[in-house]
Protein backbone atom coordinates (compact mmCIF):
# COMPACT_ATOMS: atom_id res chain seq x y z
CA UNK A 1 0.00 0.00 0.00
CA UNK A 2 1.43 3.40 -0.99
CA UNK A 3 0.46 6.73 0.59
CA UNK A 4 1.54 10.25 -0.42
CA UNK A 5 1.75 12.66 2.52
CA UNK A 6 2.06 16.45 2.19
CA UNK A 7 2.65 18.26 5.48
CA UNK A 8 1.46 21.85 5.83
CA UNK A 9 3.48 22.35 9.02
CA UNK A 10 6.66 20.75 10.35
CA UNK A 11 6.67 18.23 13.16
CA UNK A 12 6.60 14.60 14.22
CA UNK A 13 4.18 12.41 12.30
CA UNK A 14 2.77 8.92 12.59
CA UNK A 15 0.94 7.04 9.84
CA UNK A 16 -0.92 3.74 9.96
CA UNK A 17 -2.72 1.71 7.31
CA UNK A 18 -5.43 -0.75 8.32
CA UNK A 19 -4.04 -4.26 8.15
CA UNK A 20 -0.39 -3.21 8.45
CA UNK A 21 1.82 -4.86 11.05
CA UNK A 22 3.03 -1.51 12.47
CA UNK A 23 2.81 2.24 12.07
CA UNK A 24 5.47 4.52 10.61
CA UNK A 25 6.87 7.54 12.49
CA UNK A 26 9.12 10.28 11.15
CA UNK A 27 10.13 13.95 11.51
CA UNK A 28 9.12 16.31 8.73
CA UNK A 29 9.64 19.92 7.72
CA UNK A 30 7.27 22.49 6.24
CA UNK A 31 5.85 21.58 2.82
CA UNK A 32 7.70 18.33 2.41
CA UNK A 33 6.19 15.37 0.60
CA UNK A 34 6.76 11.72 1.43
CA UNK A 35 5.74 8.49 -0.19
CA UNK A 36 5.11 5.80 2.42
CA UNK A 37 4.91 2.14 1.49
CA UNK A 38 3.39 -0.41 3.86
CA UNK A 39 4.41 -3.97 3.07
CA UNK A 40 2.78 -7.26 4.04
CA UNK A 41 -0.59 -5.60 4.63
CA UNK A 42 -3.37 -8.04 5.48
CA UNK A 43 -6.09 -8.13 2.83
CA UNK A 44 -9.47 -7.71 4.51
CA UNK A 45 -11.20 -9.07 1.43
CA UNK A 46 -12.13 -8.09 -2.14
CA UNK A 47 -13.75 -4.69 -2.34
CA UNK A 48 -13.06 -3.87 1.34
CA UNK A 49 -11.70 -0.36 1.82
CA UNK A 50 -8.69 -0.24 4.15
CA UNK A 51 -8.07 3.30 5.29
CA UNK A 52 -5.02 5.27 6.39
CA UNK A 53 -4.65 7.77 9.21
CA UNK A 54 -1.90 10.35 9.74
CA UNK A 55 -1.33 11.95 13.15
CA UNK A 56 0.61 15.15 13.79
CA UNK A 57 1.96 14.04 17.15
CA UNK A 58 2.63 17.40 18.81
CA UNK A 59 -0.13 19.54 17.28
CA UNK A 60 -1.72 21.58 20.08
CA UNK A 61 -2.80 24.75 18.25
CA UNK A 62 -6.55 25.01 17.71
CA UNK A 63 -5.95 25.69 14.01
CA UNK A 64 -4.40 22.25 13.60
CA UNK A 65 -6.18 19.00 13.00
CA UNK A 66 -3.85 16.68 14.92
CA UNK A 67 -5.25 13.64 13.17
CA UNK A 68 -6.37 13.12 9.58
CA UNK A 69 -8.86 10.36 8.80
CA UNK A 70 -10.79 10.87 5.58
CA UNK A 71 -13.06 8.42 3.83
CA UNK A 72 -11.49 9.36 0.51
CA UNK A 73 -8.10 7.87 1.47
CA UNK A 74 -8.24 4.11 1.27
CA UNK A 75 -6.93 1.17 -0.70
CA UNK A 76 -8.46 -2.13 -1.70
CA UNK A 77 -5.49 -4.35 -0.92
CA UNK A 78 -4.67 -6.90 -3.62
CA UNK A 79 -2.22 -9.66 -2.62
CA UNK A 80 1.04 -9.43 -4.53
CA UNK A 81 0.36 -5.93 -5.88
CA UNK A 82 1.04 -2.34 -4.83
CA UNK A 83 -2.06 -0.17 -4.58
CA UNK A 84 -2.34 3.54 -3.75
CA UNK A 85 -4.30 5.11 -0.90
CA UNK A 86 -4.02 8.58 -2.39
CA UNK A 87 -2.61 11.80 -0.96
CA UNK A 88 -3.14 13.05 2.60
CA UNK A 89 -2.57 16.66 3.68
CA UNK A 90 -2.41 16.69 7.49
CA UNK A 91 -1.92 19.71 9.70
CA UNK A 92 -4.69 21.95 8.41
CA UNK A 93 -8.09 22.34 10.02
CA UNK A 94 -9.61 23.23 6.64
CA UNK A 95 -8.64 19.94 4.98
CA UNK A 96 -8.73 17.31 7.72
CA UNK A 97 -11.30 15.47 9.75
CA UNK A 98 -10.66 14.33 13.30
CA UNK A 99 -9.74 10.68 13.77
CA UNK A 100 -11.80 8.37 15.90
CA UNK A 101 -9.93 7.44 19.07
CA UNK A 102 -10.45 4.33 21.16
CA UNK A 103 -9.15 4.35 24.73
CA UNK A 104 -9.43 2.82 28.22
CA UNK A 105 -10.47 -0.75 27.38
CA UNK A 106 -12.01 -2.89 30.13
CA UNK A 107 -12.64 -6.63 29.82
CA UNK A 108 -15.88 -8.19 30.97
CA UNK A 109 -15.20 -10.71 33.75
CA UNK A 110 -16.04 -13.70 31.52
CA UNK A 111 -13.63 -12.51 28.81
CA UNK A 112 -16.27 -12.45 26.07
CA UNK A 113 -16.48 -8.70 25.55
CA UNK A 114 -14.49 -5.54 26.08
CA UNK A 115 -15.88 -2.06 26.76
CA UNK A 116 -13.97 1.03 25.69
CA UNK A 117 -14.30 4.75 24.99
CA UNK A 118 -14.54 6.06 21.45
CA UNK A 119 -14.40 9.72 20.50
CA UNK A 120 -17.31 11.34 18.75
CA UNK A 121 -17.53 11.20 14.97
CA UNK A 122 -18.00 14.96 14.80
CA UNK A 123 -15.15 17.13 13.55
CA UNK A 124 -13.15 18.69 16.42
CA UNK A 125 -15.49 17.36 19.10
CA UNK A 126 -13.57 15.30 21.61
CA UNK A 127 -16.29 13.92 23.83
CA UNK A 128 -16.31 10.16 24.24
CA UNK A 129 -19.04 7.57 23.82
CA UNK A 130 -19.04 4.18 25.57
CA UNK A 131 -18.74 1.28 23.15
CA UNK A 132 -18.30 -2.47 23.36
CA UNK A 133 -17.01 -5.17 21.06
CA UNK A 134 -16.68 -8.94 21.08
CA UNK A 135 -13.44 -10.54 22.20
CA UNK A 136 -12.64 -11.64 18.63
CA UNK A 137 -14.45 -9.24 16.29
CA UNK A 138 -14.16 -9.60 12.52
CA UNK A 139 -12.11 -6.96 10.67
CA UNK A 140 -13.62 -3.49 10.38
CA UNK A 141 -16.29 -4.18 13.01
CA UNK A 142 -15.78 -1.52 15.66
CA UNK A 143 -18.45 -2.65 18.11
CA UNK A 144 -21.73 -1.32 19.44
CA UNK A 145 -22.38 2.00 21.14
CA UNK A 146 -23.61 1.44 24.70
CA UNK A 147 -23.96 5.08 25.64
CA UNK A 148 -23.65 8.33 23.72
CA UNK A 149 -22.36 11.40 25.53
CA UNK A 150 -25.08 13.88 26.33
CA UNK A 151 -25.61 17.23 27.97
CA UNK A 152 -25.77 15.55 31.38
CA UNK A 153 -22.87 13.10 31.01
CA UNK A 154 -20.42 14.21 28.34
CA UNK A 155 -16.69 14.11 29.21
CA UNK A 156 -16.57 10.38 29.87
CA UNK A 157 -13.02 9.60 30.94
CA UNK A 158 -12.91 5.90 31.96
CA UNK A 159 -15.02 2.75 32.12
CA UNK A 160 -14.40 -0.36 34.22
CA UNK A 161 -16.33 -3.63 34.04
CA UNK A 162 -17.15 -5.16 37.40
CA UNK A 163 -15.78 -8.42 38.86
CA UNK A 164 -17.72 -11.71 38.45
CA UNK A 165 -20.19 -10.73 41.20
CA UNK A 166 -21.09 -7.63 39.14
CA UNK A 167 -20.19 -8.88 35.68
CA UNK A 168 -22.81 -6.76 33.91
CA UNK A 169 -22.07 -3.49 35.72
CA UNK A 170 -19.92 -0.69 34.39
CA UNK A 171 -18.25 1.91 36.57
CA UNK A 172 -18.09 5.18 34.61
CA UNK A 173 -15.85 8.15 35.40
CA UNK A 174 -16.78 11.56 34.01
CA UNK A 175 -14.47 14.55 33.97
CA UNK A 176 -16.29 17.77 34.73
CA UNK A 177 -13.40 20.19 34.41
CA UNK A 178 -13.21 21.23 38.07
CA UNK A 179 -15.03 18.21 39.46
CA UNK A 180 -15.01 14.52 38.50
CA UNK A 181 -18.07 12.29 38.89
CA UNK A 182 -18.71 8.53 39.14
CA UNK A 183 -21.66 6.49 37.86
CA UNK A 184 -22.65 2.81 37.92
CA UNK A 185 -25.07 1.15 35.53
CA UNK A 186 -25.89 -2.09 33.69
CA UNK A 187 -23.99 -2.39 30.43
CA UNK A 188 -27.14 -3.50 28.58
CA UNK A 189 -28.94 -0.26 29.53
CA UNK A 190 -26.60 2.53 30.57
CA UNK A 191 -29.45 5.02 30.51
CA UNK A 192 -30.11 3.58 33.98
CA UNK A 193 -26.74 4.78 35.30
CA UNK A 194 -26.93 6.25 38.78
CA UNK A 195 -24.60 8.82 40.24
CA UNK A 196 -22.28 7.63 43.00
CA UNK A 197 -21.56 10.45 45.47
CA UNK A 198 -17.78 10.41 45.82
CA UNK A 199 -17.33 13.61 47.79
CA UNK A 200 -14.71 13.13 50.44
CA UNK A 201 -14.62 14.76 53.84
CA UNK A 202 -12.34 17.75 54.29
CA UNK A 203 -12.69 19.09 50.76
CA UNK A 204 -14.83 22.10 51.60
CA UNK A 205 -13.39 25.23 50.03
CA UNK A 206 -11.66 23.19 47.35
CA UNK A 207 -11.02 24.97 44.08
CA UNK A 208 -10.77 21.72 42.11
CA UNK A 209 -10.84 18.02 42.81
CA UNK A 210 -9.99 15.13 40.50
CA UNK A 211 -10.23 11.34 40.37
CA UNK A 212 -7.22 10.07 38.38
CA UNK A 213 -7.97 6.36 38.83
CA UNK A 214 -10.62 3.82 39.88
CA UNK A 215 -10.64 0.05 40.46
CA UNK A 216 -13.31 -2.42 41.59
CA UNK A 217 -12.97 -4.46 44.76
CA UNK A 218 -12.68 -8.15 43.82
CA UNK A 219 -15.91 -9.11 45.61
CA UNK A 220 -17.92 -6.35 43.93
CA UNK A 221 -18.86 -4.72 47.25
CA UNK A 222 -17.45 -1.41 46.11
CA UNK A 223 -14.43 0.19 44.56
CA UNK A 224 -11.33 2.20 45.37
CA UNK A 225 -10.35 5.48 43.76
CA UNK A 226 -7.46 7.91 43.88
CA UNK A 227 -8.39 11.47 44.74
CA UNK A 228 -6.74 14.86 44.59
CA UNK A 229 -8.05 18.26 45.56
CA UNK A 230 -6.59 21.71 45.81
CA UNK A 231 -7.97 24.17 48.31
CA UNK A 232 -7.23 27.82 48.90
CA UNK A 233 -7.86 27.26 52.60
CA UNK A 234 -5.94 24.07 53.35
CA UNK A 235 -3.06 22.33 51.63
CA UNK A 236 -3.56 20.03 48.67
CA UNK A 237 -4.10 16.36 49.33
CA UNK A 238 -3.78 13.16 47.36
CA UNK A 239 -5.32 10.02 48.81
CA UNK A 240 -6.89 6.63 48.13
CA UNK A 241 -10.47 6.06 49.24
CA UNK A 242 -12.82 3.10 49.40
CA UNK A 243 -16.50 3.37 48.52
CA UNK A 244 -18.92 0.80 50.02
CA UNK A 245 -21.88 0.37 47.66
CA UNK A 246 -24.22 -1.19 50.21
CA UNK A 247 -23.68 1.40 52.90
CA UNK A 248 -22.95 4.32 50.59
CA UNK A 249 -19.99 5.19 52.74
CA UNK A 250 -16.52 6.51 51.88
CA UNK A 251 -13.48 5.69 53.99
CA UNK A 252 -9.91 6.87 53.58
CA UNK A 253 -7.32 4.13 53.08
CA UNK A 254 -4.12 6.06 52.58
CA UNK A 255 -2.99 9.67 52.31
CA UNK A 256 0.08 10.99 50.52
CA UNK A 257 1.35 14.36 51.67
CA UNK A 258 4.36 14.69 49.35
CA UNK A 259 3.16 13.67 45.90
CA UNK A 260 0.28 12.69 43.64
CA UNK A 261 -1.49 9.36 43.22
CA UNK A 262 -2.62 8.46 39.70
CA UNK A 263 -3.87 5.19 38.22
CA UNK A 264 -4.26 2.29 40.63
CA UNK A 265 -5.36 -1.34 40.82
CA UNK A 266 -6.28 -3.94 43.43
CA UNK A 267 -4.79 -7.39 43.96
CA UNK A 268 -7.17 -10.31 43.24
CA UNK A 269 -7.32 -11.18 46.96
CA UNK A 270 -8.28 -7.60 47.87
CA UNK A 271 -5.38 -7.11 50.24
CA UNK A 272 -2.88 -4.89 48.37
CA UNK A 273 -3.18 -1.77 46.21
CA UNK A 274 -0.66 -0.75 43.54
CA UNK A 275 -0.59 2.88 42.41
CA UNK A 276 1.30 5.44 40.36
CA UNK A 277 3.16 8.17 42.20
CA UNK A 278 4.66 11.42 40.90
CA UNK A 279 5.29 14.99 42.00
CA UNK A 280 2.91 16.82 39.65
CA UNK A 281 0.45 16.53 36.79
CA UNK A 282 1.44 16.53 33.13
CA UNK A 283 0.63 20.02 31.77
CA UNK A 284 -0.05 18.58 28.29
CA UNK A 285 -3.35 17.08 29.49
CA UNK A 286 -5.94 19.68 30.43
CA UNK A 287 -9.14 18.14 31.73
CA UNK A 288 -11.27 21.21 31.12
CA UNK A 289 -10.81 20.91 27.33
CA UNK A 290 -11.87 17.27 27.09
CA UNK A 291 -10.30 15.12 24.40
CA UNK A 292 -9.50 11.45 24.08
CA UNK A 293 -7.33 11.83 27.18
CA UNK A 294 -9.63 13.69 29.54
CA UNK A 295 -8.14 12.30 32.74
CA UNK A 296 -5.48 14.11 34.70
CA UNK A 297 -2.25 12.24 34.09
CA UNK A 298 0.89 12.36 36.16
CA UNK A 299 4.07 13.78 34.76
CA UNK A 300 6.26 10.71 34.37
CA UNK A 301 8.69 9.00 34.81
CA UNK A 302 6.49 7.80 37.67
CA UNK A 303 7.18 5.27 40.39
CA UNK A 304 4.90 2.38 41.35
CA UNK A 305 4.11 1.75 45.00
CA UNK A 306 2.27 -0.87 47.04
CA UNK A 307 0.18 -0.31 50.15
CA UNK A 308 -1.98 -2.70 52.13
CA UNK A 309 -5.75 -2.30 52.12
CA UNK A 310 -5.61 -1.02 55.71
CA UNK A 311 -3.14 1.72 54.69
CA UNK A 312 -0.08 0.03 56.18
CA UNK A 313 3.24 -1.18 54.81
CA UNK A 314 3.87 1.40 52.10
CA UNK A 315 6.73 0.25 49.88
CA UNK A 316 8.08 0.93 46.42
CA UNK A 317 7.54 -1.66 43.71
CA UNK A 318 9.39 0.02 40.81
CA UNK A 319 11.28 3.28 40.46
CA UNK A 320 10.07 3.79 36.88
CA UNK A 321 6.66 2.50 35.81
CA UNK A 322 3.11 3.49 35.10
CA UNK A 323 -0.43 2.20 34.36
CA UNK A 324 -0.40 -0.68 36.88
CA UNK A 325 -2.70 -3.63 36.14
CA UNK A 326 -2.84 -6.69 38.36
CA UNK A 327 -3.08 -10.09 36.67
CA UNK A 328 -6.36 -11.88 37.57
CA UNK A 329 -4.47 -14.95 38.73
CA UNK A 330 -0.95 -16.08 39.57
CA UNK A 331 1.49 -15.93 36.71
CA UNK A 332 2.77 -19.47 36.06
CA UNK A 333 6.43 -19.94 36.88
CA UNK A 334 8.82 -20.23 33.97
CA UNK A 335 9.27 -23.71 32.61
CA UNK A 336 12.41 -25.78 33.04
CA UNK A 337 15.48 -24.45 31.29
CA UNK A 338 16.04 -25.82 27.82
CA UNK A 339 18.02 -29.02 27.60
CA UNK A 340 21.43 -28.32 26.14
CA UNK A 341 22.57 -31.26 24.09
CA UNK A 342 26.21 -32.18 24.46
CA UNK A 343 28.39 -31.57 21.43
CA UNK A 344 28.73 -34.54 19.12
CA UNK A 345 31.50 -36.92 20.01
CA UNK A 346 34.64 -36.59 17.99
CA UNK A 347 35.16 -39.09 15.25
CA UNK A 348 37.10 -42.17 16.27
CA UNK A 349 40.77 -42.19 15.34
CA UNK A 350 41.46 -43.50 11.86
CA UNK A 351 44.42 -44.98 10.09
CA UNK A 352 46.77 -42.57 8.31
CA UNK A 353 45.13 -43.27 4.98
CA UNK A 354 41.66 -42.68 6.49
CA UNK A 355 40.35 -46.08 5.40
CA UNK A 356 39.95 -47.71 8.82
CA UNK A 357 38.55 -46.54 12.16
CA UNK A 358 39.19 -47.92 15.62
CA UNK A 359 36.18 -48.57 17.91
CA UNK A 360 36.82 -49.45 21.58
CA UNK A 361 34.22 -50.99 23.90
CA UNK A 362 32.95 -48.88 26.83
CA UNK A 363 32.85 -50.44 30.26
CA UNK A 364 30.73 -48.97 33.04
CA UNK A 365 31.81 -49.84 36.55
- Measure the CA–CA gap between 286 and 212, rounded to whole angstroms: 13
Residue 93 is predicted with a pLDDT of 46
Task: Return the half-sphere exposure (C-beta side, CA atoms, 13 A cut-off) of residue 76.
Answer: 4
pLDDT > 90? residue 225: yes
User: What is the residue-averaged pLDDT of the chain?
Assistant: 78
Q: Please provide the size of the chain in residues.
A: 365
Q: How many CA atoms lie within 13 A of 265 on its CB side?
A: 13
| Rounded CA separation 193/98 (Å) | 29
Residues near 239 by beta carbon (within 8 Å), at least 6 away in sequence: 200, 226, 227, 228, 252, 253, 254, 255, 256, 261
∠ CA 357-358-364, nearest 5°, is: 140
Higher-pLDDT residue of 102 and 123 is: 102
- pLDDT tens-digit map of 117-155: 887 655 445 578 899 999 888 776 778 899 987 766 777
pLDDT digits (tens, 9 = 90+) for 56-101: 665 444 444 556 566 667 889 999 899 988 887 665 544 455 566 7
Q: Which of these, 291, 287, 288, 318, lies nearest to 305 by C-alpha position?
A: 318
- Give pTM, 2 decimals: 0.71
Residue 327 predicted with pLDDT over 60: yes
Q: Taking 70 as the threshold, does the pLDDT of residue 42 lie above it?
A: yes
What is the distance between the alpha carbons of residues 150 and 160, in angstroms, rounded to a whole number? 19
pLDDT score of 124: 46
pLDDT at residue 360 is higher than 60: no
CB 122 within 8 A of CB 177: no
In DSSP terms, which residues pair with 86 in a beta bridge? Answer: none
* Average pLDDT of span 15-28: 87
Amino acid sequence: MRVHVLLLGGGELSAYAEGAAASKEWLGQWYETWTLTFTNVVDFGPGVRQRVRVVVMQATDILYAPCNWTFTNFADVIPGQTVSAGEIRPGSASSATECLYASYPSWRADGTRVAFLRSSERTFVYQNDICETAALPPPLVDGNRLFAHSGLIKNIAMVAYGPPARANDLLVLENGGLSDHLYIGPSDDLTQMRHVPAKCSGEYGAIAHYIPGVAWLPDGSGFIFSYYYYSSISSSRSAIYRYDLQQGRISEIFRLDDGLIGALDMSPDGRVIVFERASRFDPEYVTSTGGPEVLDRLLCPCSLWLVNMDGSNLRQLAADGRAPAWSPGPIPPPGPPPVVMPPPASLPPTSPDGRYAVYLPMTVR
